[in-house]
Structure 1
């Protein structure tokens, strides 16, 4: 396949190949009798527009078929977020660049495989007065309609809080308009909570349990990285923007494959593995934080050494490492990982830019290697080596609560920038 092929097409091909092989049972005789494979058809968004004034503004998205959706507001800055299934955006060039009424501008695009998102930037606080999915009628196509009403900040914050408790469900594809009413009083009958549409960030403190990781000066890597992971979790949860999942919150051994499964089962938007390296005495000294992304070929000998050491960690827990993926699975994984690796590399660069303002970085801060824990084909992933426990200065940082909080804050800022960037960079696409 040509190297310039679009990543999302490659991912689609991978899914189709897997489905075809599963149905055929890898039997060439049966495969010959299979009907031709048809590419999946995503709903098409053909136009988006704004109407109204600074008191009441309407957002309308034209579609070729009804879809489920969930709309909610966020503060600082004021935004409306609309989560929808994956769409094929065929909007006119420049759509969303300018605003009207309560809306400054809006952005749209793929936020994860199978899911798209629209982010509406507000000029000030506004509540979702009405949200509905309309069937085609009177010559109009199916339409997603939001009505935004001007409110003061106090009302906005109350409305945002109520949205999180709302039991309203997305509009059904069959059609009757569903109206969200954030201000409605709680129902007298207990209802299942609405799905949490916030992006999931998985924090993975390395090692744990019988696997201490590196050790120096009486300090074990597993404890240092757990303390940092918990500090990062607290920082992210304070913002309210994300749902944070920890692979471990105590001294527990978690196999590498299970860490990856956690991220994939949660449909994570980002996976951050936290570690602290050490050099054997005969290899001299090294210092500073390093950020790794996955690669089939290590960027240097040190990266290869570290990846091999981390990948062997499962042997300590008695996990069978003899299973090897089939040749077909290797091909499918490679296709699916191309888009994910692009996102991972982008986040690594953002993370380096933020961390260098808070802590000392390695002389070569961006590296790549074949870490098994980074190989989820559909979750952007990085591994952060916070420093070297074998270096006196780095170890003093790693045990310092003030350093930990400052550096965790820089990682949180990078996560904010990365997830916002993934929304902002999306534009008209066929």
Structure 2
């Protein structure tokens, strides 16, 4: 996909920090109506890309209102939007698809209230955003409305929910299932075309989660999706600078990508190596720390790995996407042999990676593990999932947010990748070379 310079990524966070600072100010003597216009102006001009600021729809506040009849979720924006409402079951959720909206909101701003038990929002695909509402009980969208407040130009987008019987909700889920599947389909081709004339190895770097799916959320609002994107951008930059590899990212911005699409991107690129970057969290055990490397296996190496895989495999559902069957495209006769060879390469790289990381990063007590991660299901692409650390550990969070730590660990990871390809290609009389 198109390169995303670090300056743009940090520019977005400068805007978020400005917004957070404004919310923390005491505006006691000011008129209440002054707050929204000030935030709307800052939201537009704090965003990277001044030329696009005037056209950017920004959400700067969200709240919940409810009475005996309905629950209303109200977003405050700097412009009008229209949305499409869909319903999904198991668990019961309402999905609202919108044009692209920049949600300048804390991840935990809305607590459980009325018909809403949990809320997520973010970029879902190119030029599309999504709001996912977990329901406390069966409910339908009674209306979607947008109105402007003339006094200051603020726009209020309201999602009104009304409780219904389970049978009526089930009918809505059945009615919306096809539309939901179509809305979730990837509508863009692999943006980073891999040259068939270029003999350098192809590496796919996969920042986990993204967009409407924040992943693990640490105390203080640190999001897994942001931590892993910053790390992946730095790793991809380092690999490209070496001149030894062709590098593809499954996402280079804060956008949602399904698990199936991550696998497809790797297979369409005919990747020689797939590296998925994540950060774990165990709220009940804040003392647990360290980096862990996982390879794919139907049988988990331990209960903790099985728990983690189960959680990560629910990423699509958290974004309101129906779980899809991953088509491997390999015939039954060759399937087992292909997967066995691929897993051998995966295990080998995992060992090289841990050996290099040992001198620069804190490792988990059992740093190489196995589990049935859906994102590692490509039978013909050696794949690993790297949990950089634990967002439930304050010491790990400090490292994960450190530029110095990212520099050391991406350097060690690049060394492991170099060793892996040198050994692998030497066994077949080839070696990776610069173009």
TM-score range, shorter chain: 0.5 to 0.7
Alpha-carbon distance in structure 1 between the residues aligned to 2:307 and 2:196: 46
Aligned to 1:335: 337
- Supply the RMSD in Å over aligned alpha carbons: 2.3
- 2:228 is aligned to 225
Task: Provide TM-score, normalisation by structure 2.
Answer: 0.51
How far apart are 1:334 and its partner, in Å?
A: 3.2
Q: Is the 8 A contact 1:198 1:242 kept in 2?
A: yes
Cα separation, 1, equivalents of 2:277 and 2:368:
15
C-alpha distance in 2 between matches for 1:332 and 1:194: 24
Q: 2:242 aligns with which of 239, 243, 247?
A: 239
Aligned residue for 2:314? 312
Deviations 1:240-267 (A, max 9, x none): 0001000000000000010011111011
Asked whether the equivalents of residues 279 and 285 of structure 1 are also in contact (C-alpha less than 8 Å), the reply is: no
Q: Which has the greater radius of gyration?
A: 1
CA separation of 1:261 and 1:240: change in aligned 2, threshold 3 A: same
1:337-352 matched pairs, under 5 angstroms: 337-352=339-354
Structure 1 residue 218, shift from structure 2 partner: 1.9
Give the whole-Å Cα distance in 2 for the aligned partners of 1:345 and 1:359: 20
Q: How far apart are residue 372 of structure 1 and its match? A: 0.7
- Are 1:381 and 2:402 an aligned pair? no
Mapped pair 1:405 → 2:404:
no
Matches within 5 A, 1:20-419: 195-216=197-218, 217-281=220-284, 283=285, 285-321=287-323, 323=325, 332-419=334-421
Shift of 1:336: 1.9
Q: CA deviation at 1:323?
A: 4.1
Q: Is the partner of 1:287 in helix, strand or coil?
A: coil
Q: Assess if the C-alpha contact under 8 Å between 2:213 and 2:315 holds in 1.
A: yes
In 2: Cα distance, 1:332 partner to 1:212 partner: 37
Q: TM-score, normalised by structure 1?
A: 0.52
* Distance apart, 1:329 and its partner CA: 6.3
Offset at residue 215 of structure 1 (A): 1.1
Instruction: Please give the alpha-carbon distance, in whole angstroms, between the structure 2 residues aligned to 1:376 and 1:215.
Output: 28
Question: By how many angstroms is 1:376 displaced?
Answer: 0.6
Q: Which has the higher contact order (CA 8 A, sep 6+)?
A: 1
Structure 1 runs (4+) deviating above 6 angstroms are 328-331
423, 426, 430: which one pairs with 1:424? 426
SS at match of 2:411: helix
- Contact 2:275 2:386 (C-alpha < 8 Å) held by counterparts: yes
Question: Counterpart of 1:219 in 2: which secondary structure?
Answer: coil
Shift of 1:332: 5.0
Aligned length: 235
- Alignment deviations for residues 64-108 of structure 1 (CA, whole Å, 9 cap, x no partner): xxxxxxxxxxxxxxxxxxxxxxxxxxxxxxxxxxxxxxxxxxxxx
- Give the secondary structure class of the aligned counterpart of 1:210: coil
